[in-house]
Amino acid sequence: MADEEKKFSRQIIGKTVVSKTGKRFGEVGDIIFESKSGELIHMVLAKPTAYTEKLQLERDKDGNILIPYSAVIAIGDFMVVAEEDIV
């Protein structure tokens, strides 16, 4: 991800999150980052699918599902994540 062109948060929020095998997780609702370094930590999942709700994924204090940004392998029309890195 580091060698690719930079993306603005408005280009990421609202994208559909899918696994590399095509399983749909939901949409990017927000981004959590470290304010001092700017490092992206998590994506907050909006509109999670029934499949995603069944998984034991990390949640924030409000119960929103969190996807580690380190699991992202590609950003294009979709946000592609490595499912094995989040389950």
> Residue 32: which of 72, 8, 61, 66 has the closest Cα?
66
Q: What is the pLDDT of residue 1?
A: 47
Token pair for 80: 């592609």
* Stated pTM of the model: 0.84
Q: Where along the chain do its domains lie?
A: 12-85
Q: Mind listing the pLDDT tens digit of every residue in the chain (87 residues)?
A: 444 566 677 888 999 999 999 999 999 999 999 999 888 899 999 999 999 999 889 999 999 999 999 999 999 999 999 988 887
Q: What is the pLDDT of residue 42?
A: 94
Q: Is 47 exposed, middle or buried (0-12, 13-18, 19+ CB in 10 A)?
A: middle
Range 12-85 has CATH code 2.30.30.240: yes
Q: What is the pLDDT of residue 17?
A: 96
Cα Rg for the chain, rounded, in angstroms? 12
